[in-house]
């Protein structure tokens, strides 16, 4: 599906990996990640809220059954791991699971599809902003891929910003729960006196515990990002090999169905585990 | 692949989604699930109870049926006995009645015979007297001969 004749493979790959950006410096927004993530989140919330509003305790419809299966699955996972009482954890886990799943699932859309579509939309509505690398006589797809809007990427979780945003949210909750359940003093004590309970070793403990603490969101975000980014890269490489990409793409996509669900589940499960660790006294 | 303001945007989106989920998604769904679980549990319990009740009712019905059977047998037995007794009594009464009727018949016949005999005797005496009157054709003092007549009557 490489409809871009005069791109070198390197250009093609970087075209697919670079995000569509607005702004400059730190105040740059990745329009693709932000937009698609928010659209998917709204889809998730409105679908579930709609079903929840219509939910009956009698015989449920098929959609309600499906939604309830997801909810119950998350609820069981939370109940098994998180023993303190909290009204936040289960909805948090559900949001993470479904949202991350939906964002991951965007990866199953063939890699050229969204960029070309976005490029075509760009050509239609903002043709003046074309980069002009290809002439007016080039094919419509090539011109679409030339348009800056074609930097649109489908899967928000292949962007480190997305996974890090989720992980930082979780990280803030870890700190919140630690303070809430152990008190500020308890939390500081845990950070300073934990492996070796001696005043002389407080700096050492602090370094150790801070690394442990910060490793949680870092590993959380990098795990999801790494898995999805690597998968995406493979998809892009497959997309460059001509006709044989069709069976290969299919095989890789089938394999990725597993990765998509698994990574969403792992993110949710680790969130629950971290929060339950934060809220349990040692 | 640099960290930029997208992070902040998505963090805000994440918080908003979690809050929405906490407020509008989770409570109705989980309450529907829990309500249904309760319904199913109570339904199962009710069905268990109903089964037990049915078993009990069946046992009771059996018991009552058996009792009724025994009672019926007793009633039939009693009725049979009574019938035999009645038949016997009636037979006996019939016999007695017959005897009585026969006896009364006998007495009646006897009385009638006696009466007829008396009548015949009287008639005969009159006949005898008339005959004697004709034979004698004389004045016979009826008074004087009455004792003879009386004797005759008594002899008849």
Question: Would you call B29 and A169 a contact, using CB atoms and an 8 Å cutoff?
Answer: no
In a domain, A243, yes or no: yes
Domain assignment of residue B19, yes or no: no
Residue B5 lies in a domain: no
**Residue A1 within a domain:** no
- The reply to whether B124 falls in a domain is yes
Counted domains in chain B: 1
Residue A41's Cα: distance from chain center in Å?
Answer: 11
Beta-carbon contacts of A245 under 8 Å, excluding residues fewer than 6 positions away, are A1, A238, A239
Eight-state DSSP code of residue B24 = I
Q: CA A28, CA A23: separation in Å to the nearest integer? A: 4
Tell me whether residue B11 is in a domain. Answer: no
| Structural domain contains residue B61 | yes
Determine the residue of chain B that is closest to A67 in CA distance: B29
Q: How far is B42 from chain A (nearest CA, A)?
A: 13
Selecting from B2, B10, B21 the residue whose C-beta is nearest the C-beta of A34 gives B10
Which two structure tokens, joined as six digits, stand for B42? 């109570």
Instruction: Flag if A45 and B26 touch (Cβ within 8 Å).
Output: no
What's the angle, vertex CA A41, arms to CA A38 and CA A46, rounded to 5? 125
Alpha carbon B107 to chain centroid distance?
A: 45
A226 CB within 8 Å of a chain B CB: no
Residue B9, in any domain of the structure: no
Model ipTM over 0.90: no
Smallest CA-to-CA distance from A119 within A153, A159, A155, A151 is with A151
- Residue A4 falls inside a structural domain: no
Question: Is A216 part of a structural domain of the chain?
Answer: yes
Tokens matching residue A31: 């329009």
Taking the C-alpha atoms of residue A89 and residue A196, their distance in angstroms, rounded to an integer, is: 31
Q: CA of A31: how far to CAs of A109, A161, A164, A166, in Å?
A: 18, 11, 16, 17
Q: Write out pLDDT tens, residues A191-235.
A: 888 777 777 888 888 888 899 899 999 999 999 999 999 998 999
For residues A259 and B123, what is the distance between their CA atoms, to the nearest angstrom? 152
Residues 75-94 of A with CB under 8 A from B: 75, 87-88, 90-92, 94
Mind listing the pLDDT tens digit for each residue in A108-146?
A: 888 888 888 888 888 888 766 666 566 666 677 777 777
- Banded model confidence at residue B19, pLDDT cuts 50, 70, 90: very high
Domain of residue B51, residue span = 27-155
User: In this structure, is residue B12 part of a structural domain?
Assistant: no
The rounded distance, in Å, linking the Cα atoms of A276 and A83 is 7
Q: In this structure, are residues A119 and A144 in contact, taking their beta carbons and an 8 Å threshold?
A: yes
Q: B29 and A67: CB-CB below 8 Å?
A: yes
In-domain check, residue B2: no
Domain range spanning residue A271? Answer: 9-279
- Tell me the pLDDT tens digit for each residue of B87-117: 999 999 999 999 999 999 999 999 999 999 9
Q: Tell me A22's DSSP state.
A: E
Query: Is there a catalytic annotation at residue A143?
Result: no
Q: Would an 8 Å CB–CB cutoff place A67 in contact with chain B?
A: yes
3-state class (DSSP) for residue B88: helix
Locate A183 and state its tokens. 């008190």
Residue A3 counted as domain residue: no
Number of domains within chain A? 1
A143: left (phi over 0), alpha (psi -120 to 50) or beta: alpha
CA distance A68 to A66: 5
Tokens encoding B16? 């908003």
In a domain, residue A122? The reply is yes
């Amino acid at each position: 599906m490489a409809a871009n004749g005069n791109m070198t493979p390197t250009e093609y790959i970087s075209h697919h990996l670079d995000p569509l950006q607005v702004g400059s410096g730190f105040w740059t927004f990745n329009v693709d990640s932000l937009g698609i993530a928010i659209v998917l989140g709204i889809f998730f919330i409105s679908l579930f809220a709609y079903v929840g509003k219509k939910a009956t305790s009698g015989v449920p419809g098929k959609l309600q059954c499906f939604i309830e299966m997801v909810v119950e699955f998350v609820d069981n996972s939370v109940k098994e791991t998180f023993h303190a009482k909290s009204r936040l954890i289960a909805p948090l886990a559900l949001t993470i699971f479904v949202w991350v799943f939906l964002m991951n699932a965007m990866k199953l859309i063939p890699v050229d599809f969204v960029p070309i579509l976005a490029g075509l939309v760009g050509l239609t509505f903002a043709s003046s902003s074309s980069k002009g690398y290809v002439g007016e006589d080039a094919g419509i797809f090539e011109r679409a891929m030339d348009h800056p809007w074609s930097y649109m990427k489908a899967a928000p979780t292949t962007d480190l910003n997305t996974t890090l945003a989720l992980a930082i949210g979780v990280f803030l909750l870890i700190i919140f729960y630690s303070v809430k359940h152990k008190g500020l003093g308890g939390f500081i004590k845990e950070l300073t006196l934990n492996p070796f309970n001696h005043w002389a070793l407080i700096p050492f403990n602090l370094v150790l515990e801070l690394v442990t603490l910060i490793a949680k969101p870092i590993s959380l975000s990098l795990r999801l990002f790494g898995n999805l980014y690597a998968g995406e890269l493979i998809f892009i490489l497959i997309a460059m090999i001509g006709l044989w990409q069709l069976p290969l793409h299919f095989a890789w996509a089938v394999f990725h169905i597993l990765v998509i669900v698994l990574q969403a589940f792992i993110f949710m499960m680790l969130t629950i585990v971290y929060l339950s660790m934060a809220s349990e006294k040692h | 692949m640099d960290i930029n303001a997208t992070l902040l945007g998505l963090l805000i989106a994440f918080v908003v989604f979690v809050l929405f989920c906490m407020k509008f998604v989770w409570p109705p769904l989980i309450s529907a699930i829990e309500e249904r679980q309760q319904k199913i549990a109570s339904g199962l319990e009710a069905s268990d109870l109903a089964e037990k009740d049915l078993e009990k009712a069946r046992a009771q019905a059996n018991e009552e049926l058996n009792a009724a059977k025994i009672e019926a047998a007793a009633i039939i037995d009693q009725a049979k006995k009574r019938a035999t007794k009645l038949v016997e009594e009636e037979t006996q009464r019939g016999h007695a009645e017959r005897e009585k009727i026969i006896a009364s018949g006998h007495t009646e016949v006897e009385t009638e015979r006696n009466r007829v005999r008396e009548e015949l005797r009287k008639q005969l005496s009159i006949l005898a007297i008339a005959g004697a009157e004709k034979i004698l054709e004389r004045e016979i003092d009826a008074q004087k001969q009455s004792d003879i007549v009386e004797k005759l009557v008594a002899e008849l």
